[in-house]
Amino acid sequence: MRNVKGLAQAKAYLASRGNLLSLEMPAQLAQEVARRSQAIFGQPYTVPEVVARILREVRQGGDAALRDLTLKIDGVRLDEMEVPKAALVKAAEGLARELRSALELSAQRVTSFARASMSKSWYDPATGLGERIVPLDRVGAYAPGGNAPYPSTVIMTVCVAKAAGVREVIVCTPARDGVNPSPVVLGAAHIAGADRVFRLGGAQGIAAMAYGTESVPRVDKICGPGNIFVAMAKQQLFGQVGIDGVFGPTETLVVADDSADPATCAADLLGQAEHDALATPILVTTSERLLRQVEREVEAQLPGLAKKDIAATALAGQGALLLVDTLEEALEVGNLVAPEHLCLNVRDPWRWAPLVRNAGGLFLGAHSAEVMGDYVAGPSHTLPTHGTARFASYLGAEQFIKRIPVVALSPEDALALAPTAATIAYAEGFTGHARAAERRLK
C-alpha cells in the first residue's frame, strides 16, 4: 500500500486518481475483448463498440437477437427466457436454513428502511399547490452472475423498488450452469418479491429491459451493478431508460484516530480489497503508530483470505495509508475522495459526522462495519462510487418514484398572478402565453 504523509501530499495523491471516466482498461483485457469480438462479430471491437453492436441487435431483433447473442457470448441456448415462478419458490425452499433466514432478515430490514425514507404526497389548500408522489410502473434489476452469485444485490434492489410501490419488478441474471441462474439468486428473488426473472446476462440483458422484446417487458428504470459491459450498456442507454447510475470499482475510506483497533481497521480494508482488483481501500489517520500497526495487520491477515490474490492486487494498485495532523484534515481528505463508503472509526464519531459532506454511505463507529451495510444494516448497498458521491445518492426509495407538482389555483389566485405571468411572457416574446394568462383576468 502507498504511504502518504501530510495533507498537501494527500491532496496531490488524490488529484492523480482522475475520475470515473478516466479509468483505463488494462491492456490485457482490451486485447481479450478485441479477440473475442473478432470471433463473435467478425470484427475487433472496443468495449463501447461491442456494447453498441449488442444494443443495436437487440433493438432490431428482439427475442431472436437475445437467443443468438446469448449462445455466441455465453454459450447458453435459451429455450425459455423466463424462469418459471415455481422454480423461484423451489429455489427458496432449497436454501440452507441459515442462509434463508439471513436473506429474510436482510430483506425485512432493507424494506423497513426504504419505507421509512419514502416521501409522501402533499397538498396545501391555502396556496393551491402540492406534490404527488407516484411510483414507477416497472423496474428492471440486474443481478450479476459471473464468478459468484450475489443474492445480496437482489435483496438490495428488488426490496427497495417494491417498498417504493413499483407495480412490477423484473430481474435479469445470467445462467450459470448452461440452463439456469444460480439457485441462491433465484431464491433471493423470491424472498425479495420479484415478479419475474429472466435468464439474461450482460449488455444483452440490459438492452432487453430497456427496449422490451416479445418476451421481456420494457421497464422504466434499470438498477443494479455489473461488469464493464453492463456499466457501458447503462451509460449508452441513458435517456432511453432511467438508470440508477454508472458505477466504478468499489471503495472504502476508513478515518481512524489512535483509539481505533488496528486489526479491525485492517480487516475492513481487506474486506474491500477482496471485491475487485480495481477496488480502493484507503486509511486516513492522525496516528503514525496506528498506521504502522494497520500496515502490519494487513500483511498478517492477507494470506488467510480466499481471494488473497485479488486483494493483494487491489492493495498494491489503489491501496493507500494517509497520515494527517488532525481529524479535520482527515475529513477534508474524505470529502475530496467522496468515497462509496466512509467509515468513522474514531472517538465520539457523532461529533465528527457533521463534517462529512461527500460519501455514498456513512458508517459511524467501530461496530458499524461497512460489511453490515453490504448485507443487513438496512440501506441499499448500491452506492455512488469514484467521487460521484459529490452529487449522487444511494439507491433509495426516492430513485423509484416520480414527483409530480400539482397546481390547483383558485379564481382569486389566478386573478392575482395572471398579470405577473403575462409581464414575463411579453418579456420573452411569447404573446400567446401572455394572452392565455390575460384571459384569466376577464
Task: Give the HSE-up count for residue 249: Cα atoms under 13 Å, Cβ half-sphere.
Answer: 22
Identify whether the C-beta of residue 206 lies closer than 8 Å to the C-beta of residue 142.
Answer: yes
Which grid coordinates are listed for 239?
Answer: 435517456
User: What is the 3 state secondary structure string of 311-367?
Assistant: HHHHHHHHCEEEECCCHHHHHHHHHHHCCCEEEEECCCHHHHHHHCCCCCEEEECCC
CA distance 348 to 346: 6
CA distance 402 to 221: 11
104 given a catalytic annotation: no
Of the candidates 190, 341, 381, 386, the residue annotated as catalytic is 341
Strands (E) in 226-346, as ranges, are 242-243, 251-256, 280-285, 320-323, 341-345
Residue 367 burial (C-beta neighbours within 10 Å; 0-12, 13-18, 19+): exposed
15 three-state secondary structure:
helix
340 given a catalytic annotation: yes
Phi/psi at 207 (5° precision): -60, -40
CA distance 151 to 73: 23
Instruction: Region of 257 please: left (phi>0), alpha (psi -120 to 50) or beta.
Output: beta
Which grid coordinates are listed for 228?
Answer: 464493464
Of the candidates 57, 274, 340, 370, the residue annotated as catalytic is 340
DSSP H or E stretch at residue 141 = strand 138-142
CA distance 112 to 396: 12
β 129-135/401-407 pair status: antiparallel
Which grid coordinates are listed for 319?
Answer: 491501496
Helical residues (DSSP H) of 75-182, grouped into ranges: 85-93, 97-116, 151-163
Q: How many helices (H) does the chain have, and how many strands (E)?
A: 17, 15
Phi/psi at 124 (5° precision): -115, 105
CA distance 109 to 346: 26
- Active-site positions read 340-341
